[in-house]
Chains A and B, each alone.
Chain A
Amino acid sequence: MSRRLRLAAEWLALLLAYAALTGSAHPGNLALGALVAAGVLALRPPLPQAPLRRGPAAAALAALRFAARLAADIVRCGIQVTALVVHPRMPIRPGILAVRSGCRTPAGLALSAHAITVTPGELVVEIGRDGTFYVHCLDVEASARAAEADQARRCALLEGPGGGGEDAR
């Protein structure tokens, strides 16, 4: 996608977000939204462009699967942490676990960290220079058994076949 086309798509997305947030399709409001969107694009620092590693259809399908898993994790997470908090003895075994990210791109690293943090009982505290996640777990023994395999699955979904290989530096 050319730079101009990408900017136009981003501008349109910002304008639509503005229209949805203000809830008005009045021409004056849309004109103001167009100006605000252009201002945001002008002031925003340049974002790194990661090459698309698969076709648009496969990428959209993977994004949908990732979003569905994320939504399910958010619901499970809310319920599980609630059950722990209201339990009279609060059966937690906290600890911090080092988990190799295996991501090859900064976007994969960031989205993996986000997905781990919405996973029930897990929270990314720090990301090491070698791409290692330091994850705080409410049940460190249970998380230690599944963390590496879960991260490899997450990375493969985000970065396509071969994801989960050499770390992003």
Chain B
Amino acid sequence: MTALLQGLAIVAILVGTGFSVVAVAGYIRLPDVYCRLHAAGKVGVFGVTLLLVASVALGAQQPGKAVLLLLFLVLAGPATSHALASAAYRMGLGPRAARRNDLPPPPPR
């Protein structure tokens, strides 16, 4: 059982770290703040979730605590992405290379 949990933890650490690295790569590669938030806010959350799974499997974290942290992460991650995107829009940062833009001009500051 311990070996199984350790195996699960190793897989979760490798995959979770991979997703976190991809989130950073997306932050560098994607063209503007809105596209970058997809990578940082979504792939990043996925990576952290897997690292939390690994910490539970290794016994470093209690399952109840991990579930609550996961819940907070899932609730707060999208809200943070939305807040940053909204702030960028209100600062007048438009999307780059947009095929379509239905967004009205930002309100005067």
A92 CB contacts on chain B under 8 angstroms:
30, 35
CA distance A126 to B99 in the complex (A): 18
Question: Considering only CB atoms, which chain B residue lies closest to A144 in the complex?
Answer: B100
A20 to B72, CA, bound (A): 13
Do the beta carbons of A114 and B62 come within 8 Å of each other? Answer: no
Query: Which of these binds chain B: A48-56, A58-66, A71-79, A161-169?
Result: A71-79
> Does B51 belong to the interface (CB within 8 Å)?
no
- Pick the contact of B85 from A21, A85, A123 — CB < 8 Å? A123
Binds B, one of A4-12, A28-36, A134-142: A134-142
Minimum distance in angstroms from A127 CB to a CB of chain B: 9
- Which of A84, A85, A126 has most B Cβ within 10 Å? A85
Q: Are B34 and A21 in contact (CB under 8 A)?
A: no
A109, B88: Cα distance in complex, Å: 21
Q: Which residues from 26 to 48 on chain B have a C-beta closer than 8 Å to any C-beta of chain A?
A: 26, 29-32, 34-35, 37-39, 41-43, 45-47
CB neighbours of B82 from chain A (8 A): 113, 117, 123-125
A85 engages B34 (CB within 8 Å): no
Contact A97 B100 (CB under 8 A): yes
Q: Complex formed: what's the CA distance from A78 to B64 in Å? A: 24
Q: How many A-B residue pairs have CB under 8 A?
A: 125
Let me know if A77 and B98 touch, CB within 8 A: no
Given A74-B45, A81-B43: A23 touches B62 (CB 8 Å cut-off): yes
A23 touching B64 in the complex, CB below 8 Å, given contacts A94-B34, A123-B81: yes
Q: B-side binding surface: helix, strand, loop or mixed?
A: helix
- The size class of the interface chain B forms with chain A is 35 or more
- Is B79 located at the chain interface by the 8 A CB criterion? yes
The residues of B that contact A78 with a CB separation of less than 8 Å are: 19, 42-43, 45-47
Closest 10 CB pairs of A and B: A78-B46, A117-B78, A98-B102, A95-B100, A85-B26, A20-B64, A136-B34, A95-B99, A125-B85, A23-B62
Residues of B bordering A, CB below 8 Å: 19, 22, 25-26, 29-32, 34-35, 37-39, 41-43, 45-47, 62, 64-65, 67-69, 74-75, 78-79, 81-82, 85-86, 88-89, 95-104
Q: Which A residues fall within an 8 A CB radius of B?
A: 17, 20-21, 23, 70, 74-75, 77-78, 81-82, 84-86, 90, 92-98, 113-114, 117-118, 121, 123-126, 128, 134, 136, 138, 140-141, 144
